[in-house]
Structure 1
Amino acid sequence: MKKNRGFEVVSKYQDQKIMLPRRQTLASAGYDLEAAKDMVVPSIWRLNFVRIFRLLRNGHQLYESDYELADEILRPILIPTGIKAYMPEDEVLILANRSSNTFKRSLSLPNGIGVIDADYYNNEKNEGEIFVQMLNYGIRPIKIHKGDRIAQGIFIKYNKVDNDLPVDRQRCNGFGSTNEKED
């Protein structure tokens, strides 16, 4: 049987009882992705973010060390799923936040959505493991437990423009890959 689209467990999680994503109802568009391990998503308000915010609000001059601190503090937490996705070349897996994450847990995907391209599958860097970016804008740290549903993935077919001329590169990196090597 030809494999068209689906999910697999990445090799480093093979013996860790990772569940493949499933739709939760007959009419669900999204496949729920689960956390592969226990993690804590700290509140941005407890990471010295308030100090930077006060400096900005009060018009104080910021120095390079302030910018570096802010960049470090406001990074999203990457939650591993332990899975990878395969699909035809003209499809993409869109990662979307679960509505309960924002409403009940103060968790958001800082990039709005995640885009998993077909050539991310089995890349050299991380085997194509899918990570979900999370930012906790609530006051309390949020505990994520292995098996918690953290996002949903929706496979979507996309179209190309007439006379499509993509850059002739191969993906060589994993998450957030903009560093491809030229052929």
Structure 2
Amino acid sequence: MAGEVTILVQREPGADPALPLPEYQTSGAAGADLRADLGGGEMLLEPGQIRLVPTGLRVQIPDGYEMQIRPRSSLALKHGLGLVNSPGTIDSDYRGPLGVIMINMGGKSYTIGHGERIAQAVIAPVIRARYAMAVALDQTARGEGGFGSTGRG
């Protein structure tokens, strides 16, 4: 394992204590699965609809790290579900509720079940940059070429 940090977790008041904390499904998994905490119920996501899905959790991420919230590929492929701001970033100084902003890009309604795995949390180091004004920027072969300027696609 490359390294390990501890993410402290608290449950929101009223959250389901039976739901597992974020967990890795395999030893090589980069993301820990996050689950929907819907009070035992369900949440309908219509085609084109965006909803904030609660996890029932709050987290404390160590300084120098972020939590990236990423979609689950199986939900994307099978149902057209994704995350609007993918990847979403949870900063180390945020202590509010952890929610997942989901969108249904598929053609059918989808019902999210209580306890369903809805997204993945990836912990990544953060490098802070210093920004400075420059008189000129170095020239490159690409130059000012924009989107798609390096070839097909």
Q: 1:88, 1:109 → 2: CA distance?
A: 24
Q: Determine what percentage of the aligned residue pairs are the same residue.
A: 31
Shift of 1:9: 3.4
Q: Secondary structure, in 3 states, of the residue corresponding to 1:102? A: helix
Whether the 8 Å contact between 1:9 and 1:18 is mirrored in structure 2 is no
Task: Tell me the secondary structure at the aligned position of residue 129 of structure 2.
Answer: coil
The TM-score, its normalising length taken from structure 2, stands at: 0.74
User: How far apart are 1:90 and its partner, in Å?
Assistant: 1.1
Deviations 1:73-130 (A, max 9, x none): x6x2000001122121211000000101110111011112110001112xxxxxx211
Q: Which amino acid in 2 is paired with 1:84?
A: R
The count of residues paired between Structure 1 and Structure 2 equals 125
The equivalent position to 1:42 in structure 2, one of 46, 49, 54, is 46
Bigger helix fraction: 1
CA contact (8 A) 1:34 1:148 kept: yes
Structure 1 unaligned regions, length at least 5? 45-73, 122-127, 165-183
Distance 1:113-1:163 versus aligned 2 partners, 3 A rule: closer
Q: Which runs of 5+ in 2 are unaligned?
A: 133-153
The Cα offsets for residues 3-23 of structure 1, whole Å up to 9 and x where unpaired, read as x53242333135542320000
Question: Of residues 127, 134, 139 in structure 1, which corresponds to 2:107?
Answer: 139
Corresponding residue of 1:149 = 117
Question: How does the TM-score come out when normalised to structure 1?
Answer: 0.62
Deviation beyond 3 Å, 4+ runs, structure 1: 13-16
> Aligned Cα RMSD in Å?
2.0
- CA, structure 1 residues 88+16, in 2 after alignment: closer, same or farther (shift >3 Å)? closer
2:93: which partner in 1?
Answer: 119
Q: Partners of 2:120 and 2:8 in 1: how far apart?
A: 13
CA distance in 2, matches of 1:156, 1:34: 20
1:97-116 aligned within 5 A = 97-116=71-90
Q: Alpha-carbon deviations, 1:43-73, whole Å to 9, x = none? A: 12xxxxxxxxxxxxxxxxxxxxxxxxxxxxx
Q: Give SS of 2:69's match.
A: strand
Q: Is the 8 A contact 1:36 1:146 kept in 2?
A: yes
Aligned in 2, Cα 1:142/1:117: closer, same or farther, shift over 3 Å?
same
Give the distance between the partners of 1:14 and 1:80, measured in 2 at CA.
9
Take 2:121 and 2:98, find their aligned partners in 1: how far apart are those partners? 10
Q: Kindly state the Cα deviation for residue 138 of structure 1 after the two structures are TM-superposed.
A: 1.6
Partner of 2:128: 160
